Amino acid sequence: MSTPEHAGQTWGAPPPPPRSPSGVPRASVELSLAPHAAPADEDHTEQVAGDMGPTGRPLRQIADPPLVAGHGPAKILAVCNQKGGVGKTTSTINLGAALTEFGRRVLLVDFDPQGALSVGLGVHPHQLDQTIYNVIMERNVAVDDVIMRTPVEGMDLLPSNIDLSAAEIQLVSEVGREHTLVRTLRPVIEHYDYVLVDCQPSLGLLTVNALAAADGVLIPLECEFFSLRGVALLIDTIEKVRERLNPKLEITGILATMYDPRTLHSREVMARVVEAFGDVVFDTVINRTVRFPETTVAGEPITSWAPRSAGAKAYRALAREVIAR
């Protein structure tokens, strides 16, 4: 016997998938991998100040930062590179987690419609009722209502999903559209020490919003020729945003990622980056490793998944450098 809620539907047929504001059907098929057990701790040869680092420079001495007496106002860092697959999301998650180990409160902002940052922390973006899109586009939605706790103590998440792709179109006609994100974050700036914004792989309006809101830009740079070519365009965009929208914007640092010391190509790209940008390049270098894809499946940062691994220690070293700058 049919019931009112089944009226108009064929018995046994699944309901149509819900649609996002952009008209795109949300994913109805769950694609997931079951995370296996965390790897055994790995020993990693520690490098000390004065040793020659992967950048070809002696490592600088950076002590553990002092604990803070209180929190806020936050320093906003945009993790940005228009080339995809260079480690933006991985670096955002793991740098955020490493900063919390030094007593800092961190908010991660997923500003990419793909929602990779949310997925990397165990969130299923297509199942969310409210995301950063709702905070930006709906005046009755407060940012505090959308912020989520993460498994890492002291680190929160402002999630995203495919809905955010509609915002780039809808904001075009808005007055002050480049400052939408900074207005969104203003109510919570005092609650955090760092806000890390994971940008989408483009130089569109969403990325310009992130740059207009940021105090600094962290540029993950894959040690590969095509990635190097795109940095000049990104730096040109940063300079235009500094001149026209955000005079305080600076490049916090360039982070070499996916470095493979066994290949001549990686070493040549690294040498060229250091030659071109000098001390802007962090001493910390993120090597290519299988551990990072594993952490995505597990939905947690490498600092808790494999706390003694080379990757975890590298992101702790990066956190020291970021705080020192």
First to last CA, the chain: 69
Whether 42 shows a pLDDT value over 80: the answer reads no
Where in the sequence is the domain holding 113, given as residue range(s)? Answer: 72-324
Write down the pLDDT at residue 48: 60
Write down the pLDDT at residue 7: 43
Beta-carbon contacts of residue 19 (< 8 Å; ≥ 6 apart): 25, 26
Contact of 303 with 98, CB cutoff 8 Å: yes
With bands split at pLDDT 50, 70 and 90, how would you rate the model's confidence at 274? very high
Higher pLDDT, 193 or 225: 193
**What is the largest distance, in Å, between two alpha-carbon atoms of the chain?**
79
Whether 4 shows a pLDDT value over 70: the answer reads no
Higher pLDDT, 232 or 256: 256
The answer to whether residue 80 is domain-embedded is: yes
Backbone angles phi, psi at 309, to 5 degrees: -75, 165
Contact of 164 with 197, CB cutoff 8 Å: no
Written as one string, the DSSP assignment of 11-33 is: TTPPPPPPB-TTSPBPP-S----
Q: Which two tokens stand for residue 164?
A: 């955010």
Distance between CA atoms of residues 321 and 282, nearest Å: 7
How many domains, the chain? 1
Average pLDDT of span 35-40: 56
With bands split at pLDDT 50, 70 and 90, how would you rate the model's confidence at 38? low
Write down the pLDDT at residue 201: 94
pLDDT per position as a tens digit, 59-97: 888 888 988 889 989 999 999 999 998 999 999 999 999
Average pLDDT of span 101-110: 98
Write down the pLDDT at residue 309: 93
Give the highest mean pLDDT range of 13-22, 68-77, 289-298: 68-77
The answer to whether residue 54 is domain-embedded is: no
pLDDT per position as a tens digit, 123-147: 999 999 999 999 999 999 999 999 9
The answer to whether residue 38 is domain-embedded is: no
Q: What is the CATH number of the domain that holds 229?
A: 3.40.50.300
Residue 72's nearest CA partner among 194, 255, 221, 159 is 194
The answer to whether residue 41 is domain-embedded is: no
Distance between CA atoms of residues 87 and 90, nearest Å: 5
Higher pLDDT, 156 or 60: 156
In this structure, the chain runs to a length of 325
Whether 232 shows a pLDDT value over 80: the answer reads yes
The answer to whether residue 10 is domain-embedded is: no
Write down the pLDDT at residue 19: 53
Share above pLDDT 90 across residues of the chain, in percent, rounded to a whole number: 64
Whether 39 shows a pLDDT value over 70: the answer reads no
Write down the pLDDT at residue 296: 78
Q: How far is CA 88 from CA 38, 49, 159, 295, 325, in A?
A: 23, 27, 16, 14, 19
Q: How far is CA 245 from CA 119, 188, 205, 206, in A?
A: 31, 21, 13, 14
The answer to whether residue 193 is domain-embedded is: yes
Give the predicted TM-score (pTM) of the model. Answer: 0.85
How much is the mean pLDDT over the chain?
87
DSSP state of 52: B
Side-chain half-sphere exposure of 110, counting CA atoms within 13 A: 31
Sign, CA dihedral 280-287-159-190, equals negative
Contact of 191 with 104, CB cutoff 8 Å: no
pLDDT per position as a tens digit, 191-218: 999 999 999 999 999 999 999 999 999 9
Q: Which two tokens stand for residue 246?
A: 């955000």
